[in-house]
Structure 1
């Protein structure tokens, strides 16, 4: 065999190996980012009719109406968690650098700041029944509950009832999401990762005691992490926020995916992507609020007619 034929064969072999490696790399990236799952689910969304959409939150119908508004005075903080209080028609967030519980107007004006003494790393906050609030401390692996009075300006962890959530070896990959399921009188919890998962906790049980935390069955969530949760009593569905996937996912009461939107630039009216999304909640009208680090607020509003589903990075 002549030298030029040998060189040609070697060149083609190198190109074939390079092509195979490129294809393998693309497949690994797609699997890591769950692009294949998003594509499959996007096609499933296309089959959902208008009547069925009305039974869901149906995220593809939402558009951003407030984008990246800075929360004044919180520039140096790391905002996390988000909940809506129907009694006061306000929002609550928690901060991590200097632990605080902060009450906001619906357009992001700071109303009051409450120091959280003894807390290490508050990541989630949720309005429960009977005017109680709950805070999840990821580092301490605790769920702490309390009633907030109008004049409260500080809270002491040691003076509040707390529940150990377990997963002692979770480190900084513990529980971040919390939502109150008012239909079933239970707390829904989202574990960030390692492993990622949704859990339910009957709360309270008989004599004020909690029940046993159970993993929710659910399907494949195609998320890389869970940053926050919120619950919609109108539909019985929940929203799951993922920072790393830049995704907001609707799941049913069993944790099965129902609809989703990307939080990337250009999707659902977003002029810029939502970076480091850390908290999500809904108000009584179904508006969706999202906070992202370090101190930005976003609001999404449901359009009268559902828009087409979105697929993006």
Structure 2
């Protein structure tokens, strides 16, 4: 004789609500796992653990990003709300900063406090995204849309720049032409330019003696350390030779040593490293000979980080 489930609770089927709750929990776990992998939080967690074992000596021989605190937080660059700050570079010659604007192409020279000194229009550039200071007043500018690197020369009297007046180098085809080369940094120790592709993140080197002449061809840097969602900007620390890799999508600044190994990182989320709010879209990073860090974010925000004394 069949058992009536209404009279025998142990014979009832699981409730639909119970099944739905189980499936929703399973879906949430899958989504969280996917988010962890996409944001590379697993890699950051592993690096965070490794950082705990670094000695004071090892920390002192690196940039050591965990010790930095924002002292200028989201300072607006006046009149540039619609220009999209795209990169930042420090000039040891003038002790100033240069930033490139991508939407309306021009250079802007800044003080180390983020005050505007001058604007220099860029004629002939379509979408300048990368900028670095080389030797003797030379600047290298990367146009992401045209896949061209141009080495320009400026001085205190420069009022305007025309791309046709300077040496240009074809950067070639990228895997994703819309997310191509947009990062560049001068490495004075190794006498080379370091170039970065946005997505998928990749780095290349191009040899130079610091002049407007590049030698040979660009060469890809083999690396499995660029576990970032994108690569926005590069900078080379003049004291250690370590490379700083900025990712806007990952809200992360990553330090690599001279062998390309991860050393330390800094999250760009609100509540960390003295930031009141998350940096909206960090597109440029620079470091000076004192180790002070500078950043710009779209649309027109300026940041300065200093190392906490311990």
TM-score relative to the length of structure 2: 0.92
- Tell me the equivalent position of 2:306: 301
Aligned partner (choices 37, 43, 49) of residue 37 of structure 1? 43
State how far apart, in whole Å, the 2-side matches of 1:233 and 1:152 are. 26
Aligned match for 2:295, one of 270, 279, 290: 290
Question: Within 5 A, what are the aligned runs for 1:213-292?
Answer: 213-292=218-297
Aligned to 1:67: 73
Distance 1:247 1:209, change over 3 A: closer
1:254 is displaced (CA, Å) by 3.1
Question: How far 1:197 sits from its partner (Å)?
Answer: 1.0
Alpha-carbon distance between aligned partners in 1 of 2:28 and 2:82, rounded to the nearest angstrom:
42
**Counterpart check, 1:99 vs 2:110:** no
> Aligned residue for 2:197?
191
| Distance 1:70-1:11 versus aligned 2 partners, 3 A rule | closer
Residue segments in structure 1 that go unaligned for 5+ positions in a row:
306-313
TM-score by length of 1: 0.91
- Superposed displacement of residue 178, structure 1: 0.7
Counterpart for residue 308 of structure 1: none
Structure with higher Rg: it is 2
Structure-1 residue corresponding to 2:169: 163
Q: Hey, what's the Cα distance between the residues in 2 that align with 1:233 and 1:98?
A: 31
Aligned to 2:141: 135
Are 2:94 and 1:88 equivalent residues in the alignment? yes
CA distance in 1, matches of 2:287, 2:153: 21
Structure 1 residue matching 2:14: 3-state secondary structure: helix
Q: Is the 8 A contact 1:93 1:102 kept in 2?
A: yes
- Structure 2's unaligned 5+ residue stretches are none
C-alpha distance in structure 1 between counterparts of 2:210 and 2:185, whole Å? 17
Contact 1:198/1:255, CA 8 A, preserved across alignment: no
Q: Indicate which of 63, 74, 83 corresponds to 1:57.
A: 63
Between Structure 1 and Structure 2, how many residues are aligned? 304
Q: 1:228 to 1:16 in 2, by over 3 A?
A: same
Displacement of 1:272 in angstroms is 1.4
Q: 1:310 is matched with which residue?
A: none
- Is 1:181 the equivalent of 2:187? yes
Q: Over aligned residues, Cα RMSD in angstroms?
A: 2.0
Q: What is the CA-CA distance between 1:14 and the residue it aligns to?
A: 4.2
